[in-house]
Amino acid sequence: MAEDTILESTERTSGREALRKNVQAAIALAGAVRSTLGPKGLDKLLVDDEGSTLVTNDGVTVLETARVEHPVAKMVISSSSTQDRVARDGTTTTVVICAEMLRNAWQLVRQGVHPATIARGFALAEDFALNVLEELSIEATDEQILSAIETSLAGKLDQAMESHLSKLAFDAGKIILKDGRADPTRVKIIKQTGGTMKDTTLITGLALAKSRIHPEMNERGGAGSILLLDGGLEKRKTQLDTKLNITTPGMIEAFRKAETKGLISQIENLVEIGCDVLVCKEGVDEEARQALCDRGILTYRRVEKKDLDLLSRACGANLVPDAQRATKGDLGSFINTREELRGGVNNWILDAAEGGATLIARGSTEGVLDEVVRCFADGLGVACQLLEKPVLLTGAGATQVALGRRLRRHAESVPGREQMAIEAWADALESIPRALAANAGFDGIDSLLKLTAAQNSRGDSIGLDLQNGEPEDAIKRGILEPLNITKQAISGATEAAISILRIDDVLWAQMDAQVPDGIQEQMQGFGAE
């Protein structure tokens, strides 16, 4: 059967042309986010079909929001998304480095180097760089960890707000740090429109926008036991449509008394097992409210499932479906509980042994509020990493230049054409200090040359001061970043680049390749021979 019959309604691109178009897509994608890199990076305005707007400096948010259909562009975005999930920072760095690797690889292909040879060279460079990163790393103090969190948020908001959120993220990380592990899911976020970003506060303990169901209930304040009910204390509804045949005047009253007795029986069981605080997913009947109040059981109702899960983890309580069948083993414990009025909203706050914290995010608009939450989540992710493993690298482009210098010396010992690929990989790393300088208004190449010369004479900790464009000691200036962020960015970018280099045949089935809106023209004429 002829090939054109087999591939009916399919557009096929193969060989060098396929690689050229794939590299085009990656470079166009990097062009969409390169200007957001660093503390001097600019913001992007995203507008959806319904006219809703979003202003953000977060590279992965831009990429995931943009309409992208090209499969290679999706591969690069996937690497960026993984970077965000694993490291919470470095998403733009991953995309920019990957695109530069492919740009440099394309130039080698045009010189006659086979893509498989380039892929081998890239893999060798990655292994060498990851080992060198351990040598360049430093043990971090608490002050340096705070500086690193602030560095990760640089350019996302104004400097005062970045410092404020960095301190909140660091404090939250300290609260949830248990046995050398910090789980960011133990931090609850409540969004409240109104006020300014600086009104954002952190509460020790889990806070819920709830009030006790009866005003006469005691707020307690000390330690006690808690039961979480995956349901409510309500009169049961019949499962089927039924009719009651009333033959005597007292039957209705007897029926209601039986229902009330069932509720009281459940409450008596709570008293027997020693329940001090009851939290229900659903409602509580009027009769049950008064009975709970009389028996001294502080009760909250209509609590969301995700909040019940948080309380379960913090207090060590089981989520039970029926109060009648609850046992002492289902109870959890807490240290204290209280209610506070914040921003005009009453919050119930509970402290437990396993720790927990709540961020009350404030902002003038929904858009500002969303950006505050995103920045705090990124800062918290970085804080958790560093509290678990306090190891840092120098920022401001210092680490990338130091790696590039070592890689070029290492390349001299590698025989064959892989040496060219290692040098191309080193050049790709240096795209980061070039982009940082360009976004700050300086010449990227001149800044890179000055930085390389300064490191050669003054040491590996020298990075770019983006206020004046001159090389300065990044450690003294507190420009630091977690080791894991750089390692993940390098690994993610290299793996994506190698995967794309290995593609030599692209088959399109009745659809057109697309790249993010508005940047198609950047691809025109690239690499044409």
Exposure string of 292-308, with b = 16+ CB inside 10 Å and e = fewer, is bbeeebbbbbebeeebb
Range of the domain at 150: 142-205+359-389
Could you confirm whether 238 is annotated as catalytic?
Answer: no
Q: Do 324 and 227 belong to one domain?
A: yes
Q: Do 122 and 169 belong to one domain?
A: no
Q: Cα 297 vs. chain centroid, distance in angstroms?
A: 39
Q: Which has more confidence, 57 or 410?
A: 410
* CATH number for the domain that contains residue 154: 3.30.260.10
Lowest-confidence region among 28-42, 165-179, 203-217, 256-270: 256-270
Q: Do 423 and 452 belong to one domain?
A: yes
Q: Do 228 and 323 belong to one domain?
A: yes
Q: Which of 58, 307, 351, 460 is catalytic?
A: 58
Is the confidence at residue 61, as pLDDT, over 70? yes
Q: Which of 36, 56, 82, 92 is catalytic?
A: 92
Number of domains in the chain: 3
Rounded CA separation 359/375 (Å): 12
Whole-Å CA distances, 7 to 11, 20, 206: 8, 22, 59
DSSP 395: T
How many of the other CB atoms lie within 10 Å of CB of 373? 18
Q: What percent of the chain has pLDDT over 70?
A: 88
pLDDT, tens only, 494-511: 999 999 998 887 666 655
> Could you say which of 299, 331, 354 is where a domain stops?
354
In a domain, 529, yes or no: no
Is the confidence at residue 476, as pLDDT, over 80? yes
* CATH number for the domain that contains residue 348: 3.50.7.10
Q: Which of 165, 202, 197 is nearest to 187 (CA)?
A: 202
Could you confirm whether 330 is annotated as catalytic?
Answer: no
Residue range 260-288: mean pLDDT, rounded: 85
Rounded CA separation 268/502 (Å): 69
Q: Specify the pLDDT at position 499.
A: 92
Amino acid, res. 324? Q
Q: Do 377 and 416 belong to one domain?
A: no
Q: Do 272 and 302 belong to one domain?
A: yes
In a domain, 528, yes or no: no
Is the confidence at residue 2, as pLDDT, over 50? no
pLDDT, tens only, 315-352: 888 899 888 888 999 998 998 888 888 777 888 888 88
In a domain, 147, yes or no: yes
Q: How sure is the predictor about 80, in pLDDT bands with cuts at 50, 70 and 90?
A: confident
At a CB cut-off of 8 Å and minimum separation 6, what does 364 contact? 193, 194, 195, 196, 197
Q: Do 268 and 293 belong to one domain?
A: yes
Is the confidence at residue 4, as pLDDT, over 60? no
Q: Specify the pLDDT at position 63.
A: 84
Q: Do 344 and 228 belong to one domain?
A: yes
In a domain, 404, yes or no: yes
Rounded CA separation 221/337 (Å): 5
Contact 129, 403 (CB under 8 A): yes
Amino acid, res. 173? G
| CA end-to-end distance (rounded Å), the chain | 34
Rounded CA separation 466/343 (Å): 38
Rounded CA separation 327/269 (Å): 8
Structure tokens at 126: 């990655």
Q: Do 288 and 173 belong to one domain?
A: no
Q: Do 187 and 247 belong to one domain?
A: no
Q: Do 43 and 122 belong to one domain?
A: yes
Q: Which of 56, 61, 82, 91 is catalytic?
A: 91
Q: Specify the pLDDT at position 521.
A: 57
**pTM for the whole structure:** 0.77
In a domain, 348, yes or no: yes
Q: What is the mean pLDDT of the chain?
A: 84
Q: Which has more confidence, 236 or 278?
A: 278
Q: Which of 162, 113, 206, 109 is nearest to 527 (CA)?
A: 109
Q: Specify the pLDDT at position 42.
A: 87
pLDDT, tens only, 410-445: 999 998 899 999 999 999 999 999 999 999 999 999
Could you confirm whether 337 is annotated as catalytic?
Answer: no
In a domain, 399, yes or no: yes
pLDDT, tens only, 364-402: 888 888 888 888 988 898 899 899 889 999 989 999 999
In a domain, 20, yes or no: yes
> Could you say which of 372, 389, 406 is where a domain stops?
389
Q: Do 147 and 87 belong to one domain?
A: no
Could you confirm whether 241 is annotated as catalytic?
Answer: no
In a domain, 306, yes or no: yes
Q: Specify the pLDDT at position 523.
A: 55
Would you mind telling me the total number of residues written for the chain in this entry? 529
SS3 202: strand
Whole-Å CA distances, 365 to 46, 98, 139, 191: 16, 36, 40, 11
pLDDT, tens only, 26-44: 898 898 889 999 888 888 8
Q: Which of 402, 424, 435, 472 is nearest to 133 (CA)?
A: 402
Is the confidence at residue 287, as pLDDT, over 70? yes
